[in-house]
Amino acid sequence: MNYNKKTVKDVDVKGKKVLLRCDFNVPLAKDGSGVITDDKRIRAALPTIQYLLEQGAAVIACSHLGKPEASFDKWVKKQTEKGKDPATLTEEKWQKTLKELRMEPVAKRLGELLGKEVILADDVVGPDATAKAAALKSGEIMLLQNTRFEKGETKGDPELAKKMAALAGADGVYVSDAFGAVHRAHASTAVVADYLPAVSGFLIQKELEIIGGALAAPKRPLVAILGGSKVSSKIGVINNLLEIADTIIIGGGMAYTFSAAQGGKVGNSLLEEDWKAYSLEMVEKAKQKGVKLLLPVDTVIADKFAADANSQVVKSGEIPDGWEGLDIGPETVKLYCDAVKDAGTVIWNGPMGVFEFEKFAVGTKAVAEALSETSAITIIGGGDSAAAVQQLGYADKMTHISTGGGASLEFMEGKELPGVACLLDA
């Protein structure tokens, strides 16, 4: 995939309307109050928004928020699959869930951060959005309603994309700055580029330069740290990184599948039986490629999956029945931290253990600390790793923390990202 894409600085936006796809999928308080509990995704969009407004553009921002079902029938089906009684699922309840995912809190917070009014539309491409977009002047900003309120959004519906593009007018521009959504070929993330010249905002430009650069021409040695629960979710990443990395470190729940594949006893630990053969293939491929594949040599085990579980340290592959591995052990911590000391580039995706339990967060904390002390380029691939680094206060010590967990994973797999592929090449 070509990572060299045109940016907002390569197009003239003065006096034009710009349809700007942001990632405002922010966490909201669970009490339905609409309070935003973390606004960093809104803050991440500010440089692009401020630049566009300063250049005299009229900005029509849009984003999804949560996972609203755009039709009552689909909502009922999804809730029924979750075990809810269909008899209790009323149209009134569906409308309530939609109301809780409206963009009012986002518009309010964005306005506070920009220090100016953000005009909010009542719909996405309906009469209110159309009228407000038509009246929008240079230097003003409006926000459309949740793009997923439209049935065609997640289906990549061309008609919806065409209507969204029409809001910006015949000489409009599309700017993509929602890295967290570029791996999806949705109407507002990719298809709209069929109807407007499309360029990246500063956020996507930074992600492409840093992650793309680390994959295409890394400062060596390149060390990849992969954690998380399942081998199956990281197959493509491991496979792709075996072609370019010097060292791959495996932690988290997926390490037990590797251990079991090599004849180890894993007790009640997370295990994907179907992926044992694949794990052995990866070990063999690493040998053939001359890549160091580091697996845990010891593990912290618990007698139950709980924060207050009894725990002990055992050698990898020697977990007794009734016990399960929840973190890497002290010898493994030392091995992994030593591996990043002299690295040129480190990419980290996925925790080393059950990070949400303090007792089993030791491995993840140690890796985060080691990365904060190395002189290497350090790239955190979103998701739980990003949360860990931020919670531990090491965020400002990292070179780059990706804003998209799923997108950065697919990026590291070498997959084409629809929301990037659709942008004009530089």
Q: Which residues are catalytic?
A: 41, 230, 383, 406
DSSP code, position 32? S
Place of tokens 């994309």: 161
Tokens of 406: 């799923």
Q: How many CB atoms lie within 10 A of CB 47?
A: 15
CB 221 within 8 A of CB 246: yes
| 102 burial level (CB within 10 Å; 0-12, 13-18, 19+) | middle
Q: What is the signed CA dihedral for 40, 44, 45, 47, rounded to 10 degrees? A: 140
CB 408 within 8 A of CB 426: no
Q: How many CB atoms lie within 10 A of CB 148?
A: 23
Place of tokens 């618990």: 302
**H or E element that contains 346:** strand 345-349
End-to-end CA distance of the chain: 13
DSSP code, position 202? H
**SS3 (DSSP) at 174:** strand
| 235 burial level (CB within 10 Å; 0-12, 13-18, 19+) | middle
What's the angle, vertex CA 392, arms to CA 310 and CA 28, rounded to 5?
A: 95
CA distances from 34 to 17, 100, 106, 370, 424 (A): 29, 7, 9, 38, 37
Q: How many CB atoms lie within 10 A of CB 71?
A: 10
